[in-house]
Structure 1
Amino acid sequence: MSLKPWREIATPHKDVLEGTFKQSEFAADITQVANGTATAEYQDAEMFFSRTYITEGMRLLLISVAQRLAGLGGDPVIQLQTAFGGGKTHTLLAVFHLASRKVGTDKLTGIPPVLDEAGIQSLPSARVAVIDGIKLSPSQPRKYGSITANTLWGELAWQLLGDEGYQMVADSDADGTSPGKEVLTELISKAAPCVILVDELVAFIRQLELGKQYKAGTFDSNVSFIQALTEALKAVPNAILLASLPESELEVGGTQGQRALNSLEKYFARVESVWKPVGTEEAFEIVRRRLFENPGERAEVEGISRQFSDFYRQNAEKFPVETQSNEYFERLCRSYPIHPEIFDRLYEDWSTLEKFQRTRGVLQYMAIVIHRLWNSDNKDALIMPGSLPLEDGNVRNKSIHYLPQGWEPVIEREVDGTRSAPYDIDGHHTLFGSVQAARRTARTIFLGSAPSTTEQMIRGVQVERILLGAAQPGQTLGVFEDVLKRLRDRLHYLYSDKDRFWLDTKPNLRREMESRKQNINERDELLPLLKTRVTQVFGRNHQFGGVHVFTPSVDVPDDYGTGPRLVVLPTNTAYSRSETNQAFSAAEEILRNRGDQPRQKQNRLIFLAPDYDVVGRLKEQARIFLAWQSIATDIENGHLNQDLSHLNQAKRNRDGADQSLAQLVRETYKWLIAPVEEFVKGKPTLNWEVVPVSPAAPNLIQAIEDKLREEEWMIYEWSPIHLRNVLKQWYLKEGVNDVSALKVWQDCCHYLYLPRLVNDSVFRNAITQGIEVEDYFAFASGKEGDRYLGFTFGRNSIATVDESSLLIDREAAVAYRENTQQPTPPTAEPGTAGGEPGGTTIPVGGASGTGTPTPTSGGLGGAATTTPAATKKQFYGTISLDPVKAKMDFATIMDEVVQQFTAKLGVNVRISVEIEANSQDGFNESMQRTVKENCNVLKFSSAEFEEES
């Protein structure tokens, strides 16, 4: 069955359809009915009952009235006391029409079953007196021909028996004293069967100030009259009194009204039968009958209701528990075409507002809503909280009429209307706009939360009820859940706490956040945060010699290091596939220079650049995080006067922004850039190779290393064949037979056209594997004249890379071995580079590419032998510096002495600084504290002030 719109099944009454109804007509006026001047729907008994749903409370009351009038028992006095708008006056009208019998009971819809239950075949016609406390005045008598009625008892007597009745209480009416029980009993007995309807009695008596005489009597005389009247009715078996008393403070009307109510309740309580108020379920039918001429055929109503019920059951975890029962299906049927959630919110939440009358208020509100929806061709299957057309001026005005000041701009900006944020969200996102998800969600939150107050312990409407009020069968609930998050992040008057959301006239902290976000300093706050967050992504477990985040070129070391250096470019140097790339310019500046000096080890740098399309979002998210962080801190420190809910909101938003920032860091820093050089016309030309790193990879640094290995931008394992090819291409040619191994390694660190090795271990391993066989090259630990020292070719050996070690061309190595004058011993003594004790000196033919190396050992056999000098393995030096020029002198020492050691592989260098300062006058406490704090920050191992010894 298709989900037909409600407007194709149900038909509103003509006055609702055309908008010609008057709101005042919803307020039943018993005096107008008694005078014959009311509108037809209230004046005409047949029409009245056709539009009236006889509730359980009204049914029991009408049975009691019928039995009392027929002399078959029943209650003599019935007190109607319910909340504002609870249907009291409407009930009085039902009794009026039943008792006055201007139309046969068989023509009064719903009455024959009532009389059958009461056991009455024929209901006698009764006199009816109507006392309306709002219409009567204590100081203004009512004239009826020659009779002037001053008091309530004068009015009652005249209405029941005319001149005869009035004469029975004339003296009491003239002097304002109660006529007493006997007189009233006689009056009522003559008028019986009769019904006395008293409406708004408190409104009359509260006007009588204590101790003051009015034409209508005194406060005490009127209370005494009520006492006597209730007692008199007990003595007359076919007379009945119905009186309405207010329940809410708004109706009571101040201190005097409360005093009047207390007095009246004391006397009514002796004989009263309290009327049962209208239940929420019964209100469904009351409203439906008054607003809809035809609520729809039963089969179609059940079909639509079944689809909603099945939808709720299929998504049971998303909706309130009560929607899973068959009883909720029945509620859907009874309330059709209005969704039960509208009734629940209006009767449970809005009825708590002082100015909101229960049934009358719901009728007035829904009449305006239905009129607007009908004329705007609304296609919803049910009239739901999400259907409320709050963009309409009449609907909006009626909504805020019951609320405190300040709601109109909230609705206009954040709930509904062409200038509202939900309207904008629906308009810019097809997924949301196709079902009006943002507007329907915002309307539902408004209906469910607007009546709440800051004094409530638990505020707001739960997500499950938001979905209940906004989503229809066939729609995806995830769309509404997503738009709810979008609204929470954007609206200034929307609050949330766990799974509850509510709107308020007081702006939430989002406006404060927006203000602070705009004032964040990029250099002093934003960039330091981004540098910290980007740095945290990499951790410490990696093979890079260093990860340099937003580091200027002068601070990126120019050394061989233990691994390559990853340079993370700042946010203003983003990479884009289409735009002019600032990333390349920034990377080249660091690649070519270290501050003002040319960079030597260019092939030790790899770059990571931010994405041009994401970097703006990253900065924005960082500003949001800083703003929320500062707000939460200020609230905790008392610098921002907010309550606990705002603190929780600030912390929750801060934590959410923190997670989003972490995710955006990964999404932003995704472009891995490697510099390479190719020779064009004999000249090296710089090019850039770029690949993305997946933001979803669990470990960024590992993903970078994997990508470097995959692209062969970084060599983690180097085959000897590749080393031999490098040697042949760049070094061992044009008659050059050997080359310094250290030079080859260092050149691989210098030049971008050579392979980029992770570290020197990869280089040494390639040499070690290569000299195990005779296919690639040979190795020598040094060279003395024409002789190779520690010559190794085709044997297992551990190669070392230092200033004297050499790599020898394979053909030259074969020729050298053939010219060897001594056979190679079959075994090698451990610990010697060439596998021979002390090394072997053999004549060498051909040229060398390294000049004359420093001798390291003497030969054996027929060769000349030198006594090896003692090996110097440690250096220690001290120097005193002028304190004024210490900074300059220390830089010179680093360049001229320390760098000699750090440039050599395998050398461990330790530098310690000793500072000694003396003062004849001593150091004051301020200086001592400053120096100690600075030393602590700089991690001095010891820093103490001492007394002179």
Structure 2
Amino acid sequence: MKAFNLIAVPHKDVLEGKFTMDVYAADLWDVHNGTAPLEYRDSKKFFKRTHLTSGLKEVMNTVEKRIKGKDGDPVIQLQTPFGGGKTHTLIALYHRAREWGAKSVVMVGTVFSANQTLWGELERQLEGEVKNFKDMTPPGSEAIKRLLEKHQPALILIDETLAYITKAAGVRVGETTLADQTMVFFQELNEAVKSLQRISLVVSLAQSHIEHYGEATERYYQQMNKIFGRVERIYSPIKDEEIPTILRKRLFSRINEGEAEEVVNSFIKYAEEEGVLPEGIEVSEFRKRFLKSYPFLPDVIDVLYHRWGTFPEFQRTRGVLRILSLLIHSLKEKNTPYVSLADFDLGNEDIRREFIRYIGDEFNGIIDADITGVESGSKKVDRELGAAYQWLNIGTRSSTTIFLYSFSGGEVRGATLRDIKRSATTLDIPSGVVDEAVKKLKDRLLYLQSRDEKYYFSNQPNLNKIVLTKMENVSEREIEEMEELVLKRELSTKTPLSLIVWPRSYSEIPDDARLKLIILRKDDRDEALHAIKYKGEGSKREFPNTLIFLAPMEIQRGAFYDSIRKHLAYVRIEEDSTLTLTEEQKEDVKKNLKLTEEILRERLRDFYRQIYLPSKDGVSVMILAKVAYGDRSKLDETVYEKLKAEGSVVERISHLVLLNKYLEGKDYVSTKAIWDSSVSTPGETRFATPE
């Protein structure tokens, strides 16, 4: 299938990455003054990229009727969430007003200074100067009516009212404030507008901004609702189902709907077979939604708009446009037929910044540690999935999907396994690969949480992170003590071998006729050879052939010590009463205590596998095989069986051996001589016991 950007062709500035954030920062005042980007300033370009939603059409029709004297509503209030399309609607009305032959008055609260009155600005824009409305108290409705009547038809657009009211509240006007006087002005303006046939007033209020201005501003907000409530109609410019169409129009110059449908049908077929479509949604409904949102999987818009969009500072439509612009540009070289949440590259600084601003800088480190870093858990999972899937980065795609599902301005967070599979998989692989990836991510990632069958990231370390921290604090002395303890547990007294663990000097190794298994702490063949020859300072050993050494394989030391650290970490976690663990985590600790104890045994047996034996030329070497699954034999028993199997130790001499080795050319041989030779001559066959 074709890459999505050959089917849905992005606007040139989006594809080339030449857009700036200002392109999506619509500003009514800049449009009014002719300083806005061309996309907003030029009416034709603006409407070419603007999808006329049903709400926007309704507002424009109402205002047009009013401007043309056909009894449209005199006052319209746009009350939307932050980024819900209000400013875009005001700009659309501004451009249309020119076509209707109406004057426009634009008042934007963020632009005006604290002591600048709205009534003075009204007169300035209509008359060219302020003559009659100079006072800090507003004119009456009749004076406002006379002014407006002279300039019919006219459209008055007021934006960012709360910002202005907050500033005006700090300006004293007699016993009141300028904010109080502005409330009076709004009431008088209302009366004047409704008495005229060809004047339209449109006021915008963004509900999500109220809490940022304090209790006083909230009271003014409620007061404005009462003032306008008698004559206004409240409009919402954008409905949820219209969002995909708006985004597509602003981001793409053209879309081949036939080719888009082919991709959508392929996905639906795959998703049905794999069982990854959202629960509770009919296949036909999801298909319809995907056709409407293509090239974006519906999940992309849902998560950005309805989860991230609930953060108070997230400008919904504008914010989503900005993020999707960055995403499209980042994927321009990728041959992906559609865009899912997994396609967000959180290693891309621009993309990451768009999300971090709402959740906190600490997530930079978390993203690096768990998702994007070269040695992050996700990258390790990518590699662990094997050559067939490694190039698809399924681990990273899965964790990226989870991350984007993890946050909202409310309580909703987390992704189900079905959600993750729908975004992280590709049409080329079975979705079960994602199952495997998520299982591995649970064991690898440090900030991934799960609850109620949903996965999400938080800034709180999970059990993996706690274990890692505890492991880092295990001392070398503790490792040595645990190694010795585990080693001694793995030894028995059921063989003829006399056991000597970690001798500190040669004198600790007895010089007698018993067979001895000397376990060395480090792999040192020279030390073993010296011990074979000498029992002390310069004193030669009488029974060198009785010494059998078991030494570690240094290449396995790191893995063995890691298993010690991990086991001790779980021991400490279980003992740490200051930790607040969930019941699920407590169960995991108990389970892992048993598991790490078993791993310790396995790693010990992998570690201690080299046998050194005295030989005529110095030292000969044997290597123990890895312990078979289920083998519960002790370490010294395994060594003894290996020695017997190789003929290095025998429990009895066969008739043929006596004839061929000891009686060749002789009539008899002393058994004492045979025994003495076996214990004193390096390389001779050893007897388990004198008997």
Scaled by the length of structure 1, the TM-score of the pair is 0.57
Q: CA deviation at 1:551?
A: 7.3
Name the CA distance, whole Å, in 2 between partners of 1:588 and 1:651.
51
2:83 is aligned to 85
Name the CA distance, whole Å, in 2 between partners of 1:463 and 1:586.
61
Residue identity matched to 1:315: E
1:177 paired with 2:138, answer yes
Q: CA deviation at 1:441?
A: 4.7
SS, match of residue 206 in structure 1: helix
For the 8 Å contact 1:30–1:132, the answer to whether it is kept is: yes
For the 8 Å contact 1:82–1:246, the answer to whether it is kept is: yes
CA distance 1:518–1:252, change in 2 (3 Å): closer
1:341 paired with 2:317, answer no
For the 8 Å contact 2:487–2:604, the answer to whether it is kept is: no
For the 8 Å contact 1:496–1:649, the answer to whether it is kept is: no
Name the CA distance, whole Å, in 2 between partners of 1:373 and 1:10.
13
For the 8 Å contact 1:341–1:385, the answer to whether it is kept is: yes
2:632 is aligned to 700
1:526 paired with 2:479, answer yes
Name the CA distance, whole Å, in 1 between partners of 2:97 and 2:136.
33
Offset from partner CA, 1:284-331 (integer Å, 9 cap, x none): 22222112212x3112212223333344334336x7536883433333
1:289 paired with 2:246, answer no
CA distance 1:394–1:194, change in 2 (3 Å): same
Q: CA deviation at 1:47?
A: 2.9
1:315 paired with 2:269, answer no
- 1:434 equivalent among 377, 391, 397: 391
Offset from partner CA, 1:242-263 (integer Å, 9 cap, x none): 2111212478533443232121
Q: CA deviation at 1:469?
A: 4.0
- 2:341 equivalent among 379, 382, 385: 385
Offset from partner CA, 1:318-377 (integer Å, 9 cap, x none): x75368834333333322233433323322333343432111122223323433443xx2
- 1:42 equivalent among 40, 43, 57: 40
CA distance 1:79–1:527, change in 2 (3 Å): same
CA distance 1:82–1:547, change in 2 (3 Å): farther
Residue identity over aligned pairs, in percent, reads 27
- 1:202 equivalent among 148, 155, 162: 162
CA distance 1:189–1:457, change in 2 (3 Å): closer
Name the CA distance, whole Å, in 2 between partners of 1:653 and 1:206.
54
Q: CA deviation at 1:231?
A: 4.8
For the 8 Å contact 1:309–1:323, the answer to whether it is kept is: no
CA distance 1:568–1:615, change in 2 (3 Å): farther
For the 8 Å contact 1:83–1:248, the answer to whether it is kept is: yes
1:350 is aligned to 308
- 1:471 equivalent among 408, 425, 431: 425
Superposed, 1:527-546 pairs within 5 Å as 527-533=480-486
2:449 is aligned to 496
Q: CA deviation at 1:52?
A: 1.2
CA distance 1:586–1:360, change in 2 (3 Å): farther
Name the CA distance, whole Å, in 1 between partners of 2:551 and 2:136.
100
Name the CA distance, whole Å, in 1 between partners of 2:525 and 2:441.
36
For the 8 Å contact 2:59–2:235, the answer to whether it is kept is: yes
Superposed, 1:392-403 pairs within 5 Å as 392-403=348-359
1:264 is aligned to 224
Offset from partner CA, 1:371-406 (integer Å, 9 cap, x none): 3443xx233333443333444444444444445344
Of structures 1 and 2, the one scoring higher in RCO (CA 8 A, sep 6+) is 2
CA distance 1:86–1:568, change in 2 (3 Å): farther
Name the CA distance, whole Å, in 1 between partners of 2:226 and 2:526.
88
SS, match of residue 234 in structure 2: coil
Name the CA distance, whole Å, in 2 between partners of 1:618 and 1:549.
21
Q: Cα RMSD (Å) of the superposition?
A: 5.7
- 1:57 equivalent among 55, 58, 65: 55
Residue identity matched to 2:342: G
CA distance 1:26–1:619, change in 2 (3 Å): same
SS, match of residue 626 in structure 1: helix
- 1:619 equivalent among 555, 561, 578: 561
Name the CA distance, whole Å, in 2 between partners of 1:597 and 1:280.
91
For the 8 Å contact 2:495–2:640, the answer to whether it is kept is: no
Residue identity matched to 2:334: N
Q: CA deviation at 1:204?
A: 2.3
- 1:630 equivalent among 542, 550, 572: 572
- 1:659 equivalent among 595, 616, 619: 595
Q: CA deviation at 1:90?
A: 0.8
SS, match of residue 205 in structure 2: strand
Residue identity matched to 2:230: R
Residue identity matched to 1:380: T
Q: CA deviation at 1:126?
A: 5.0
Name the CA distance, whole Å, in 2 between partners of 1:408 and 1:649.
26
Residue identity matched to 1:348: H
For the 8 Å contact 1:611–1:669, the answer to whether it is kept is: no
1:224 is aligned to 184
Name the CA distance, whole Å, in 1 between partners of 2:31 and 2:482.
76
Name the CA distance, whole Å, in 1 between partners of 2:609 and 2:104.
94
Q: CA deviation at 1:444?
A: 4.0
Residue identity matched to 1:659: L
- 1:572 equivalent among 505, 522, 542: 522
Q: CA deviation at 1:735?
A: 9.1
Q: CA deviation at 1:158?
A: 6.8
For the 8 Å contact 1:80–1:242, the answer to whether it is kept is: yes
For the 8 Å contact 1:632–1:651, the answer to whether it is kept is: no
1:135 paired with 2:111, answer yes
Residue identity matched to 2:272: R
Offset from partner CA, 1:695-753 (integer Å, 9 cap, x none): 4x2243299989998997499xx9x9x987789889999999xx9xxx9xxx9xxx995
Q: CA deviation at 1:264?
A: 0.8
Query: Structure 2 stretches of 5 or more lacking a match?
Result: 534-539
CA distance 1:459–1:344, change in 2 (3 Å): closer
Residue identity matched to 1:245: L
Q: CA deviation at 1:136?
A: 3.6
Name the CA distance, whole Å, in 2 between partners of 1:26 and 1:92.
15
CA distance 1:297–1:586, change in 2 (3 Å): farther
For the 8 Å contact 1:571–1:615, the answer to whether it is kept is: no
Q: CA deviation at 1:177?
A: 3.3
SS, match of residue 356 in structure 1: coil
Superposed, 1:148-187 pairs within 5 Å as 151-152=118-119, 155-156=121-122, 162=127, 174=135, 176-180=137-141
2:258 is aligned to 299
SS, match of residue 244 in structure 2: helix
Residue identity matched to 2:283: S
Q: CA deviation at 1:87?
A: 0.9
CA distance 1:457–1:100, change in 2 (3 Å): closer
Aligned length: 675
Name the CA distance, whole Å, in 1 between partners of 2:241 and 2:501.
67
SS, match of residue 633 in structure 2: helix
CA distance 1:694–1:420, change in 2 (3 Å): closer
Offset from partner CA, 1:885-914 (integer Å, 9 cap, x none): xxxxxxxxxxxxxxxxxx99xxxxxxxxxx
Larger radius of gyration: 1
SS, match of residue 22 in structure 2: helix
Residue identity matched to 1:471: T
Structure with more of its chain in helix, by fraction = 2
Scaled by the length of structure 2, the TM-score of the pair is 0.75
CA distance 1:515–1:193, change in 2 (3 Å): closer
For the 8 Å contact 1:342–1:384, the answer to whether it is kept is: yes
For the 8 Å contact 2:211–2:218, the answer to whether it is kept is: no
SS, match of residue 304 in structure 1: helix
